[in-house]
Amino acid sequence: SKWYSKECAESCTAFGRYWIKETIKEAEKEGFSVIYADTDSLFLKKSEEIEKEVEGFLKKINQKFPGILELELQGFYERGIFIPRGTYGTAKKRYALVDEKGNLLIRGLETVRRDWCNLAKEVQRKVLEFVLKEKDVEGAKEYVRKVINDLRKRKVSLKDLIIYEELTKPIEQYKLISPHVIARPKKNERKRNRSWRRTSNNVCN
């Protein structure tokens, strides 16, 4: 970036980290259990009257925050799955939650990412629904077994197996030449009048 400042970026990160840690300390003092936290959010748990207590906690915290910061309430959730950073993938936030009305909130998982095929995204969403909404782990296992069996018998549409990927920089700047990087010049050979940034791939075994 033309106006990039490393010092400014580091200061913003440090500033956010400091206030998240302070918020966690205050939450624990108020009797909340902190079940998840990242750079700009945290999830709290308490068994009794959490809705009323959260409102009071928000007001108290926002009075301590500097004027440029404000803690907002996103919602209340009955169940959730949190995936530790570094387990797999590069997303910093990786979790799925279900609220009282059965609505799913998904962050960082394959079902909301563009670089996975439709089948992978659909399977993951269905599994999350089985586990979080229906609390049916065995149903999730049976569903996955059926999908695997359909794949082996070639009952799945090829369109649902396409992986879409985008080039984020010129080809010559890539040190590792992956399949989607190779695919772009081949497309350009066929259609020289277009600038291809997005490729579609099928991985075959």
pLDDT tens by residue, 34-68: 999 988 889 999 877 788 889 899 999 999 988 78
Q: Are 39 and 92 in contact (CB under 8 A)?
A: yes
Domain 77-161 has CATH 1.10.287.1260: no
pLDDT under 50: residue ranges of the chain: 189-196
What are the sequence ranges of the domains in the chain?
1-74, 77-161, 163-201
Give me the pLDDT at residue 87, please: 60
* Calpha distance 117→160 (Å, rounded): 6
Give me the pLDDT at residue 192, please: 46
Task: Characterize 162-180 residue by residue with b for buried, 16 or more Cβ atoms within 10 angstroms of its Cβ, and e for exposed.
Answer: ebebebeeeeeeeeeeeeb
Give me the pLDDT at residue 121, please: 92
CATH tag for 1-74 (out of 3.90.1600.10, 2.40.37.20, 3.30.420.40, 3.90.1150.10): 3.90.1600.10
Give me the pLDDT at residue 179, please: 57
Helix axes 50-64, 6-29, angle to 10 degrees: 140
Conformational region of residue 123, where left means phi above 0, alpha means psi within -120 to 50, and beta covers everything else: alpha
DSSP 134: S
